[in-house]
Amino acid sequence: MQRLLERYIEPLRDDSKLLPADAIESLYVSVKSIHQLQQTFLKRLESNIPTEILAYNATHEFRDILISIADTFLSYSQYFKLYSTFCAMHLRMNRLLDIHQNNQHLKEFLAARNPRHQHSLSFESYLIKPVQRILKYPLLIQQMLNYLNSNENNSNEQLLSTETLKLKQAITMMNNIGEYMNGMQQLYEEFGQSFEYITKTYSEEHNKTLQLNLPDLYAYGEIDWINMHLFLLGKNHQRLKTYCFVFRNGCLLIVREQSNKKKQDLLSIYKGNKIISDRFIRFIPMEDINVELIENDDTKDNNISMWQLTQTDSKTRLKTYFRFANKDAQTFVKTINNCISSIATTVEWRQNAYDRTITSIRNSEPSYLTKKTSSQRLSSSRSCNVLLTSNSRSLNQKSDNNRQSPSPIWKRRTTPIRRQPLSMNIRQKTLRNSTDC
């Protein structure tokens, strides 16, 4: 990680002619966060291993060490989800490298840092190594488990030793992290360009930075937008699909259309001979949101519930109403309300702790290790790959029977196929006082 920073990322930050500055800055922040996490994790592991370990010669003498190592992996399980942001940045950087492949200045820069053209020292190789490392952890723990001689093959968990149970739990947890990262890779491949677009445009329009981090994504899925006709006039709504993403800091609505015709003025992603275009995209800050379930006799028979999201403009106090219907309405409403409560708790905490200086906070434990309140632990207790039930029309339940990504990020060796550069033709005029007809 340190070599990646020193050899590539920091020099890229100093030269805006190479790659877009915002992408490099996001990559820098992500790598620094993971580097800090790994340093803390390493110190914790080393503290579990006594200096006289080389004198041990019996299995029982290693039991406390194995338990401590397993507990360390278990306690860091949620923090490893930081890697999902890095996975997204890896995909984004590969796409940028492909787009800028004819940039002579960039070619000279990369060649100067790898004069012998060794694959192991290339920028792409350095980017993939952190992900490959974390996905080797289950194999490492499995090796520890294999060396145990006490009841490790016993199927009765009550008879298994404590260290065996702990190691099995750690293996399961790390495998779940791998599945989570692969799920986030699929999600970013599908919607990454839309996330990048709204992040940039929202930040420019509102003069404040918007961040959509994958670890802060609590729920997502496909929904039916009932009053879409008030926002998208003259469209064949049957061909459109609406997706809702619940992030810690707000909700993102995306309406997509799939067609075979090429249109140059749209935010488009090419999939074979089909083009997926964003027809509507809006980010609504969590502090501007009110959400509630709506009673409707027409939807009770098919287990579909209606819910309404109300956006109140912070300046004009005008309201915009969005009405949706889906089988996971209660999940969306509950998750959004939890996020709203979390923001209120955070504001109250900041007011009570105003006298704490920035210096004292930075000298304490890293932010991802600080103790949080129950409402602030949403990201630890809820993740987008478990919130939606099997009955929902979620993103991971497509017609291809929940296929996994054909090229998991940790197996990629080459840059992806270039996608269409971002452009947009979305109706800018919104109906702030709109109501459902």
Cβ atoms 367, 379 nearer than 8 A = no
Q: Output the pLDDT for position 50.
A: 79
Rg (CA), the chain: 24
Q: Output the pLDDT for position 54.
A: 66
Q: Output the pLDDT for position 120.
A: 86
pTM above 0.85, yes or no: no
Q: Output the pLDDT for position 385.
A: 35
Q: Which two tokens stand for residue 277?
A: 């275009």
The reply to whether CATH 1.10.287.3510 applies to domain 2-181 is no
Cβ atoms 275, 262 nearer than 8 A = yes
Q: How far apart are CA 203 and CA 64, in angstroms?
A: 50
CATH topology of domain 211-411: PH-domain like (2.30.29)
Domain boundaries, the chain: 2-181, 211-411
Q: Which two tokens stand for residue 103?
A: 């940039």
Q: Which two tokens stand for residue 181?
A: 């990262």
Give per-10-residue mean pLDDT for the chain (437 aa): 89 87 90 93 88 69 85 92 88 89 89 88 89 89 79 51 90 93 90 92 91 91 93 79 95 88 57 78 95 77 84 93 92 94 66 46 42 37 35 42 43 41 41 36
Q: Which two tokens stand for residue 93?
A: 């950087």
Cβ atoms 114, 122 nearer than 8 A = yes
Tell me, yes or no, if the two domains 2-181 and 211-411 fold the same way: no
For the four alpha carbons of 137, 124, 21 and 10, in that order, the dihedral sign comes to positive
